[in-house]
Structure 1
Amino acid sequence: MVKEQFRETDVAKKISHICFGMKSAEQMRQQAHIQVVSKNLYSQDTKHTPLSYGVLDHRMGTSEKDRPCLTCGKNLADCLGHYGYLDLELPCFHVGYFKAIIGILQMICKTCSSIMLTKEEKLQFMDQLKRPNLAYLQKRGLKKKISDKCRKRTICLNCAAFNGPVKKCGLLKIIHEKYKTTKKVVDPFVSEFMQSFDIAIEHNKVMEPLLTRAQENLNPLVVLNMFKRIPQEDIPLLLMNPEAGKPADLILTRLLVPPLCIRPSVVSDLKSGTNEDDLTMKLTEIIFLNDVIKKHRMTGAKTQMIMEDWDFLQLQCALYINSELSGIPLNMAPKKWTRGFVQRLKGKQGRFRGNLSGKRVDFSGRTVISPDPNLRIDEVAVPVHVAKILTYPERVNKANLELMRKLVRNGPEVHPGANFIQNRHTQMKRFLKYGNREKIAQELRFGDVVERHLIDGDIVLFNRQPSLHKLSIMAHIARVKPHRTFRFNECVCTPYNADFDGDEMNLHLPQTEEAKAEALVLMGTKANLVTPRNGEPLIAAIQDFLTGAYLLTLKDTFFERSKACQIVASILVGKDEKVRVSLPRPAIMKPMALWTGKQIFSMILKPSKECPVKANLRTKGKQYSGKGEDLCSNDSCEPVQQSPSRGQ
């Protein structure tokens, strides 16, 4: 065949498991090729030359066609790119794991980092977690149970330290309300703290309402040290897989710098220089803030200044990952909106839906749909304009040689014709718009492949989006017709949920004989007349069909000859022109010939038998001088009826 079918290889491979997790700082370093340290993009001496150890260092791949990658030496088409990394001067909360960090902090002691459960509870939960084939919802339920038990306990069972509630406070800030309690305090340090407060209240009454509002700020550095101290045996109780990552990995101490090919620089002709990608600019800002914090720490600047820089660094790291953060303070809000990693992945234009799930395919067309009751339910009318573009690779053989020669002579402009021809030996393709088509047609040999236009009788797949169930895409037989819309019988509207108020539909032309056969047998409209949901007929007469049939067959509906002929002629529109129809004898003869609607409804539209008068004249050697009407008015004509009975 023209396109090989997919066949599995003989080597049997089985994927044991897939594991998602966080990268540790060490894993990031191992994956990366260079450490990025410079905030400048280009060297000062020569413009458009990326600076070594900068964000645009070509050891991370290339984004230009004429410059190879400095790591692997390959060009843009072959090099997948290489990662770099940059170290953060101070750790930051990962915006994607912020909820998870708060969740863990609520379950552990803020002094010794052990989980707030008794030994018996630990053993009980560990037994439940070790059950094989534990479902995701069951794991979620277990996590909620563990979290609820831990949050209710205020005194650590390991070190007897006092623990209050942990809450989010503003953007990327966590507070621990350590001294907020109404119960009798056991912690000696807290008791001492409370007693000193009592003395202070005696001297200053203003401090009394502030007593319960004493808070401990949990910055990323404090949280990181807490997470590092979590005992190894407690990690599974936090519903974390120790192989996939440790709690300390939830906090950023190092950032991966993505390859250049996913953040290319665009050279601008209007102004000197280049337009850099959002990710590149965000990385330069992060490196700049790193340098500022390092400088302030070395010069011994005020703690408040360093804390402000740290907050700004956290914000930039968060915007690098997700640029649609809410609750950013006005003084820190970015001037220009950028696209972070989350925005590149999610949504209709993102990587998954935009580039991976929804592929654009060849041999397909899309246009507006319109109704045509003269087509069969398994047919679709395809515009000539579309039929000239959609091609089917037909292999030349003894049976179709003359037809293929005719199609090659017609070429791409005349329908039915052909666009390309492929030689079986050389595998060379020739475009038939140019060259001597007559000569090419004569040189056709068995085994050559002619990419011919779509013609009547081809099997096509017809689809309307949104594809909600299997009947949203079915196989039809193509009929090439004039005009610019896809047309089909209104009976098939229900499975597609189509109406004709501007809907568009897709048409696909299968490229192999197997695909055509499979489509017709499994997806043909005649094989899908009923819905698999409950067996109801989906492809059936609807709306105007039923109304028309009802009005036509009413008891007191009579038509004179001209009207009866007009109705029959309208039924014949789109049928073969050579079809002849004989009207049955009228139901009422006097005072004028009248036919009932039921008579017209029950007529079989097939070539009528020859008029006996004409046959009789022919046998006598005389020439019939009639007008040659299709609807013979001779009373001696035998009517063509559905039932053997004469009357209606």
Structure 2
Amino acid sequence: MVKEQFRETDVAKKISHICFGMKSAEQMRQQAHIQVVSKNLYSQDTSHTPLQYGVLDHRMGTSEKDRPCETCGKNLADCLGHYGYLDLELPCFHVGYFKAIIGILQMICKNCSHIMLTREEKLQFMDVLKRPGLAYLQKRGLKKKISDKCRKRTMCLNCLYEFLKKCGLLKIIHEKYKTTKKVVDSVVSDFLNSFDIAIEHNKEVEGLLNRAQENMSPLVVLNLFRRIPSEDIPLLLMNPEAGKPADLILTRLLVPPLCIRPSVVSDLKSGTNEDDLTMKLTEIIFLNDVIKKHRMSGAKTQMIMEDWDFLQLQCALYINSELSGIPLNMAPKKWTRGFVQRLKGKQGRFRGNLSGKRVDFSGRTVISPDPNLRIDEVAVPVHVAKILTYPEKVNKANLELMRKLVRNGPEVHPGANFIQQRHTQMKRFLKYGNRDKMAQELRFGDVVERHMIDGDIVLFNRQPSLHKLSIMAHIAKVKPHRTFRFNECVCTPYNADFDGDEMNLHLPQTEEAKAEALVLMGTKANLVTPRNGEPLIAAIQDFLTGAYLLTLKDTFFDRAKACQIVASMLVGVDEKIKIALPHPAILKPMTLWTGKQIFGLILKPSKACPVKANLRTKGKQYSGKGEDLCYNDSCEFLPRGGLTGGSPSGLAMSPRARAC
């Protein structure tokens, strides 16, 4: 019925390090199970049979419940999926690495691929790079230094080749012939000589000289990156183990498993709704075929270049579909979701499915205040308590209680919803069947999924969770009505108020989780903020006002009012406790108790006061200010002398009040 609980393994393991890198074309081929070559999704004969070597080939996993994976034979729940790959007819820039590609091109020579540094500078930077424990920010600063040095140099020291560079959107332009200095390279000088001859015949050509440039296509860049010497790669701040510069250019694409791009069969119209990734992959394969045909038939270069640009764009949209600056003639008609869109943002994998996913054994409703609850308690509605269950294992101590809960069933609280017998993995729903018979058949080791009851440990959380005290552990008290209730003193850490706020409640499912929650996340373990030690859970608002008004000097209560206040203060503490009122502070004309007497009575229950007897035997008169409190261990918190300056006229003070 529900997902299996996560259990830690007995083997302790430690992660040494995590390394992110780029997959080379060879690694992609090794990871994949098939090469995808067909642009058609389904066989022409039958409408719902995926074509072999197509994007929906079932050797890459399955997205249907009734159809097993053709590679491992497992069903949808157990098969993790298998990758495929497709080869691109011409290399393309990876839209995610485009900035990195430009950065490397600005650091290397466009002729010999050597880094634009002198031998001394190379040695100097290598010494810094070899230092152990180099921080990320230090590496970043070092890369900027190397880049700045390379960009300032316009002459390669290895092949004496001069150049300048400029870049555009998914196109990199190299202004090879824009120069004012003496040119050494023979190709450039030949080009300029021919330009001089052209100028003699046509003066208009002179203005075009500065605009002559070389297009750095992905193929040119790939060949440059492949020729970068291995000793120069660390100076580009790249780890040779995590990937080489040539891996930044796409020559091969991984085709993800079917389970992350399922086909949805539509009942309204015949056919299926395919995932965006599937459709984008078919477009890429189609463009591959077009380029292959044009190359074989000897089509114009202009035609092939246009196809190549389109392939470049489709590969970029496959990864990130929110590209800006796409020409109108190439813009997609329908917006799709690429890999970047699946990962980032509120609805993405990290925030939407990992950090904030829907979980079992949780409830959510409006909150309201209840000053009669302790600060570590939360009142849970009966309706919620019947749905949230805890798997209790039957043992000698709780056998009778479990039998009673099973007899009550799911409808009566406290009851139980399911039984799982020790030897079988099958769960029995207690709404149906003979519950009396099931209760008698309970054995030690069986698991009863009982309702939440008073004393269960629950996690209470208010969104947005801005700090660790936004989720704390409370003790459940099952009450009627429909809201979660808790003491107002605990509002501050949750930043909660009662104008319609909703809060979440989670019921931990193991004894270890309960213990951990209470010890580490309990409200009593988090009374102060970890930021600066200030108390977060303390008396607020009505509590402070009430305590102030109760303990004023001129606050007196008759017997009925005093008993009423004491009784209301004890609600929810312990109904069986017996309280003896202290002797009244004033006897005539009527018996009156002070607010301080009642306040002290709650702090420390009444006992016989030995101070009175001692004072009588010694014959001493004990007097003091009315607001002074007696801090004797065996005495109540009573005003010394009752009122300031002894007994005013018309009010007879009791000997008890005078003595204390």
Superposition TM-score, scaled by structure 2 size: 0.83
Counterpart secondary structure, 2:632: coil
Structure 1: gaps of 5 or more residues: 160-165
Q: 1:210 to 1:111 in 2, by over 3 A?
A: same
Counterpart secondary structure, 2:109:
coil
CA apart distance, 1:519: 3.0
- Partner of 1:519, secondary structure, is helix
Moved more, 552-561 or 389-398: 552-561
Is residue 623–residue 658 contact of structure 2 (8 Å, CA) maintained in 1? no
Does the 8 Å contact 2:622/2:659 carry over to 1?
no
Identify which range, 319-328 or 532-541, moves more after superposition: 532-541
Please name the residue that 2:435 is paired with: 437
Deviation at 1:206, TM superposition (A): 5.3
Contact 1:37–1:86, Cα closer than 8 Å, also in 2? yes
C-alpha displacement of 1:534:
2.4
Q: How far has the Cα of 1:289 moved from its partner?
A: 1.3
Aligned CA distance change for structure 1 residues 356 and 630 (closer, same or farther; 3 Å): same
TM-fit CA distance, 1:223: 0.9
How far the C-alpha of 1:414 sits from its partner, in A, is: 1.0
More deviation in 175-184 or 564-573? 564-573
In structure 1, distance between residues paired with 2:462 and 2:659: 46
**Deviation of 1:185 (Å):** 5.2
Structure 1 equivalent of residue 418 of structure 2: 420
Q: Deviations over 1:168-202 (max 9, x none)?
A: 64431111223445556555655665576677667
520 and 257 in structure 1: CA distance in 2 versus 1, 3 angstrom threshold: closer
Is the partner of 1:210 in helix, strand or coil?
helix
1:16-62 deviations in whole A, cap 9, x for unaligned? 54432222222222322332222222222332222222222223233
CA contact (8 A) 1:583 1:632 kept: no
- Which is further off, 551-560 or 4-13? 4-13
Q: Which residue of 2 aligns with 1:499?
A: 497
Whether 1:49 and 2:49 are equivalent positions in the alignment is yes
Cα distance, 1:268–1:424 mapped onto 2, change above 3 Å: closer
Pairwise CA distance, 1:214: 3.3
State the Cα distance separating 1:318 from its structure 2 match: 0.4
CA distance 1:309–1:424, change in 2 (3 Å): closer
Q: How many residues align?
A: 641
Q: Secondary structure at 2:225's aligned position in 1?
A: helix
Q: CA deviation at 1:594?
A: 6.8
- The 10-residue stretch of structure 1 (594-603 or 512-521) with the greater mean CA deviation from structure 2: 594-603
Measured at CA, do residues 28 and 399 of structure 1 come closer, stay the same or move farther in structure 2, by a change above 3 Å? closer
Query: Structure 1's 442 and 53: CA in aligned 2 closer, same or farther, altered over 3 A?
Result: closer
Shift of 1:441: 3.2
Whether the 8 Å contact between 2:277 and 2:318 is mirrored in structure 1 is yes
CA distance in 2, matches of 1:270, 1:627: 88
Contact 2:553 2:626 in 1 (8 A): no
Q: Mean Cα displacement is larger for which, 523-532 or 569-578?
A: 569-578
- Alpha carbon RMSD of aligned pairs, Å? 7.0
Distance across 1 between alignment mates of 2:321 and 2:653: 73
Separation in structure 1 between the aligned mates of residue 12 and residue 583 of structure 2, nearest angstrom:
74
- Measured in 2, the distance between the counterparts of 1:228 and 1:357 equals 41
Match of 1:2 in 2: 2
Q: Is the 8 A contact 2:265 2:271 kept in 1?
A: yes
The answer to whether residue 272 in structure 2 is matched with residue 274 in structure 1 is yes
- Report the TM-score when normalising by structure 1: 0.84
Shift of 1:493: 1.4
SS at the partner of 1:646?
helix
Matched position secondary structure for 1:70 = coil
Summarize the Cα distance change of 1:383–1:204 in structure 2 as closer, same or farther, 3 Å threshold: same
Q: Separation in 2 of the partners of 1:208 and 1:346?
A: 50
Partner of 1:20: 20
Partners of 2:583 and 2:654 within 8 A in 1: no
Report the CA distance shift for 1:106/1:527 in structure 2 as closer, same or farther (over 3 A): same
Q: Which moved more, 1:277-286 or 1:185-194?
A: 185-194
CA distance in 1 between counterparts of 2:339 and 2:20 reads: 18
Pairwise CA distance, 1:364: 2.6
| Contact map agreement 2:165 2:176 (CA 8 A) in 1 | no
Contact 2:86–2:252 (Cα < 8 Å) also in 1: yes
Distance change (3 Å), C-alpha of 1:76 and 1:376: closer
The Cα of 1:130 is off from its aligned counterpart by 1.9
Query: CA 1:206–1:403 in 2, change beyond 3 Å: closer, same or farther?
Result: same
Instruction: Answer whether contact 1:604 1:641 (CA < 8 A) is retained.
Output: no
**Residue of structure 1 in register with 2:652 after alignment:** 641
* Contact 1:185–1:191 (Cα < 8 Å) also in 2: yes
Is the 1:582–1:608 Cα contact (8 Å) retained in structure 2? yes
SS of the residue 1:336 aligns to: coil
2:378–2:485 contact (8 Å) kept in structure 1: yes
Paired-residue identity, %: 92
State the 1:330 CA deviation.
1.3
Residue number in structure 1 paired with 2:472:
474
Q: CA 1:553–1:364 in structure 2 vs 1: closer, same or farther (change >3 Å)?
A: same
Is the Cα–Cα contact under 8 Å of residues 611 and 632 in structure 1 kept in the other structure? no
Change beyond 3 A, Cα 1:145–1:585: same
Deviation track 1:389-429 (CA, whole Å, cap 9, x = no partner) reads: 22233344444443333322222111112223344455654
User: Does structure 1 conserve the Cα–Cα contact (< 8 Å) formed by 2:454 and 2:477?
Assistant: yes
Is 119-128 or 361-370 further displaced after alignment? 361-370
Greater shift, 285-294 or 588-597, is seen at: 588-597
TM-fit CA distance, 1:308: 1.5
Aligned to 2:474, the other structure's residue is in SS state strand
Q: Distance between the aligned counterparts of 1:343 and 1:636, measured in 2?
A: 70
Do the aligned residues in 2 keep the contact of 1:581 with 1:605 (CA within 8 Å)? no
